[in-house]
Structure 1
Amino acid sequence: MGDVHDVPIRDETIRLGQFLKLANLIDTGADAKGAIADGLVSVNDAVETRRGRQLRAGDVVTFGGQSARVG
């Protein structure tokens, strides 16, 4: 895995689809939905297919060779 950048969130949790956009790993909600449904997104090194998956501080999301940690 390459460099992981920290992305701060306002609340204690954030949904996976929202975080992908916030972290600039993906451009739109529609793109996020498709990428997640196709099994292209992983959370903590496990493929995640639920767009509504709740992420917490410390979770690492990877897509397209880039990773971001929930801050």
Structure 2
Amino acid sequence: MPALDFTLDREFIELNQLLKLAGLCASGGAGKQLVASGAVQVDGALELRKTAKIRAGQRVRVGAVEIRVLGADGVG
């Protein structure tokens, strides 16, 4: 399964923006549609909140792709 590391430069990022910046969709709006479709899990649980706050240490999965969210220090 492909894994991506995403390093935060702030306290949190909204889920739809994370999906966009990680390259899994073309825009924040497309990210919202992806979340609404039921295709996104956060820490192993279905996430339907389009703007859920994602923080360092969390893992986001879309299909076979997992995003590991790291803090500015590179620790997740």
TM over 0.5: yes
Segments of 4+ moved more than 3 angstroms:
none
Task: Give the secondary-structure state (helix, strand or coil) at the position aligned to 2:4.
Answer: strand
Report matched runs for 1:35-46 at 5 Å: 35-46=34-45
Higher-Rg structure is: 2
| Contact 2:2 2:64 (C-alpha < 8 Å) held by counterparts | no
Aligned-residue offset at 1:62? 0.8
Structure 2: which 5+ runs fail to align?
71-76
Aligned-residue offset at 1:3? 3.6
What is the aligned residue count?
70
Task: Give, in whole Å, the separation in 2 of the partners of 1:43 and 1:25.
Answer: 15
Aligned-residue offset at 1:8? 0.6
Residue 48 of structure 1 aligns with an amino acid whose one-letter code is: E
Task: Give, in whole Å, the separation in 2 of the partners of 1:52 and 1:30.
Answer: 11
Residue 20 of structure 1 aligns with an amino acid whose one-letter code is: L
Residue 31 of structure 1 aligns with an amino acid whose one-letter code is: A
- Report percent identity of matched pairs: 37
Normalization by structure 2: what TM-score? 0.82
Task: Give, in whole Å, the separation in 2 of the partners of 1:12 and 1:30.
Answer: 22
Structure 1: which 5+ runs fail to align?
none
